[in-house]
Structure 1
């Protein structure tokens, strides 16, 4: 019996420890989340591989300027000997042209060939274009890191805001539960109205519903945040930062639009990408024009060959042939395809220049909107700070009136609702400032 009791106690301890492990939460700061995203985000991993692919593409293009050396070997068996045609007098016949069987039925041929470009302007310019394309991919990676940082920061702030909203709702729920209990007590004593009790009950249930909805949204947002940072740990996350924000300290970062635009043009990756793209298209244009120029190559070959009617390889003779020379290729006419290609690349260059102008206009508009929203958010924050203080004072006054029998439960309920709503509005104002600050950093190209 004692052993059974001991086993039960051990089992309960194991269950308790497993539940404790399952309920364990991992603390996560915003800095930690951003660092984890740099390594674990799947989209970033794909772009990193694209960056590596562009480096290999550059190596491939540069390889066109290096020597091309190849070795070849061939064996052929002729069922009918090869035929050549000679003047009849050469072959000892009276025919004007006489066919003569030559060579062996078994032929062997092996050679080593060399081709080294000496003057190949097209390949040189394509190599420069490939190097620029590699820089474009590097900038795309940096741009994607900034976008991921913005997504992670925004999602982190979303969860922080919802957690604080949930705390406010829980506080309001406790106050409304107390109000419901008071209403039921007064109604039971015949000193209260049924409508007051019903109104308090509805308020409590609505708050429970809102809290449940927020809890679910927090769970969903946590899952999305874990996906963004590449976190595969099944443990729940607990955010260690808070939503508090000293907007006065960061006020100096909100320049006027022209100053902000200069900073953005220097730091934004998409501007760098567009400028590099223009350069890339110009190099492709130069490469297209280079196809009209002559090309010079060094060529060479070393050859071994043999022919016989038998397979006695030891008795074969292997004559050698070798040469080294220059090969000049001059384009003359190819159906105007090169001219068409040059016109196409010219059009591409013009398109990319227009895209750069449009991009800068879009950035200026984006910065103007963010700066305008920031100013409005500061105004809203000041308003809601004052509103919260007033709502707290009003609630305290209504509570005192109600306790002294001078006010009604409806007045106290309205005051409590106004207090909760004013605190939520203030929380939203702080949240807006945090998000706008991150958006500005991203718009300036300073969010890494």
Structure 2
């Protein structure tokens, strides 16, 4: 029976391991770009821009409408005619005009020949498509940055949990040793109590860290659009130092997507100004119509002249020229407002350039400081580990106190946590440096 239970447990562990998602940073980013709402909506905006272009292009194409109506004149309007016309001088005769029933059916065509606003609108529509394409790239970069930061924070908490569990295991072993010594009268009750208190505190710390880790993992899954119940496993090399993040003096911010978005936005504002100026231009359009008119005393549809209904066709072709002369300076006010909007956008562009330059310099400084901190903390970890091993040996031989041992264990755990925190700060600085270079997509291309 025990043999069967062992086999069953092994199989269940294998199935559980397969069910877990091996989630590298690249996998998390690609998953987010494919599933997160922000990234999906940005792609839909690009699709929608094609429909906007088609909408504006339709203004330059022929506009054809078909219309029809049916009217019953319950009381015909009468007009007053002098009686002389009908041989009754000195009298006025009221004569009804028209027929009780009237119906028309017509087709109308309207074609723009010259309309500067339409031509400008076509250019603006194409520029809008380019704007959404660049904006999609910016949205993807923002998603990448958020996911990377959240991913590294989850991994830091995992390492902190591992450090606490190792310390708990060491403390538990020491507590068992002291318990055995106490039972044999070779240790004090206070020493055993202190170890048990330390052990209980570590148990509580493990529980709190696990809860914090669960919340961070849930937040990461939501951020990438993954099911909250999906278990994930992170690779052990997550905090590796990447050599490709280093920069030289020739690195600039010219290829930053934020700059490209604002420059394209300025183009749109210039086109908006031109659309306002287009109101000064005359417009010329071609109009044409063709239809049928039916009049009679009876219901005209499907009726013939023999039934008292007469149908006749009509057609008209013409040009419509509209020349703006004076509209109370409305167009001038619109153009001036457009000028102000362009000036504001230019100020924003320059401010953004300055801010991005600051981010680049700060990122360079932060990455260098982080590397120095990592080296220092790694040395501290090695020293703390060496000190702990020596004090454990001395304690076992009665040459060190329990206080010395507890202090050494705490110092070693603190050194490991400080080293983990330094690694996290380095990885966050790495993200900012890659972002400052405009190369966030390298996180999924490498």
Q: Establish whether residue 314 from structure 1 lines up as the match of residue 304 from structure 2.
A: yes
SS at match of 2:304: helix
TM-score under structure 2 length normalisation = 0.89
Moved more, 229-238 or 133-142: 229-238
Task: Please point out which of 432, 436, 440 is paired with 1:439.
Answer: 432
**Match of 1:373?**
366
**Match of 1:429?**
422
Q: Residues 243 and 430 of structure 1 are in contact (CA less than 8 Å); yes or no, is this contact kept in structure 2?
A: no
1:210-238, Cα deviation, whole Å (9 max, x unpaired): 21122112211222222222223733112
Q: What is the number of residues matched between the two proteins?
A: 434
**For residues 403 and 236 of structure 1, do their structure 2 counterparts lie closer, same or farther at Cα, with a shift above 3 Å needed?**
same
Q: Establish whether residue 265 from structure 1 lines up as the match of residue 258 from structure 2.
A: no
Q: Residues 243 and 431 of structure 1 are in contact (CA less than 8 Å); yes or no, is this contact kept in structure 2?
A: no
**Match of 1:175?**
170
**For residues 328 and 198 of structure 1, do their structure 2 counterparts lie closer, same or farther at Cα, with a shift above 3 Å needed?**
same
How far the C-alpha of 1:130 sits from its partner, in A, is 2.1
Distance 1:140 1:82 in 2: 64
**Match of 1:210?**
205
Matches within 5 A, 1:349-364: 349-364=342-357
SS at match of 1:306: strand
Q: Establish whether residue 162 from structure 1 lines up as the match of residue 157 from structure 2.
A: yes
1:230-279, Cα deviation, whole Å (9 max, x unpaired): 223733112235333135x235x2344xx43x2x322x222111111111
Gaps of 5+ in 2: 442-446
Q: Residues 112 and 284 of structure 2 are in contact (CA less than 8 Å); yes or no, is this contact kept in structure 1?
A: yes
Distance 1:80 1:371 in 2: 89
How far the C-alpha of 1:202 sits from its partner, in A, is 2.3
How far the C-alpha of 1:392 sits from its partner, in A, is 1.7
Q: Establish whether residue 221 from structure 1 lines up as the match of residue 207 from structure 2.
A: no
**Match of 2:335?**
342
Q: Residues 285 and 342 of structure 1 are in contact (CA less than 8 Å); yes or no, is this contact kept in structure 2?
A: yes
Matches within 5 A, 1:141-156: 141-156=136-151
**Match of 1:416?**
409
TM-score under structure 1 length normalisation = 0.89
Distance 2:177 2:100 in 1: 115
Matches within 5 A, 1:76-87: 76-84=71-79
Q: Establish whether residue 61 from structure 1 lines up as the match of residue 31 from structure 2.
A: no
Task: Please point out which of 298, 301, 311 is paired with 2:286.
Answer: 298
**Match of 1:196?**
191
1:54-75, Cα deviation, whole Å (9 max, x unpaired): 3212211121111111111011
Moved more, 198-207 or 139-148: 198-207
SS at match of 2:324: coil
SS at match of 1:65: coil
Q: Establish whether residue 45 from structure 1 lines up as the match of residue 30 from structure 2.
A: no
Q: Establish whether residue 383 from structure 1 lines up as the match of residue 376 from structure 2.
A: yes
Distance 2:365 2:354 in 1: 17
Q: Establish whether residue 250 from structure 1 lines up as the match of residue 239 from structure 2.
A: no
Matches within 5 A, 1:117-156: 117-156=112-151
Distance 2:283 2:83 in 1: 44
How far the C-alpha of 1:172 sits from its partner, in A, is 0.7
How far the C-alpha of 1:95 sits from its partner, in A, is 7.3
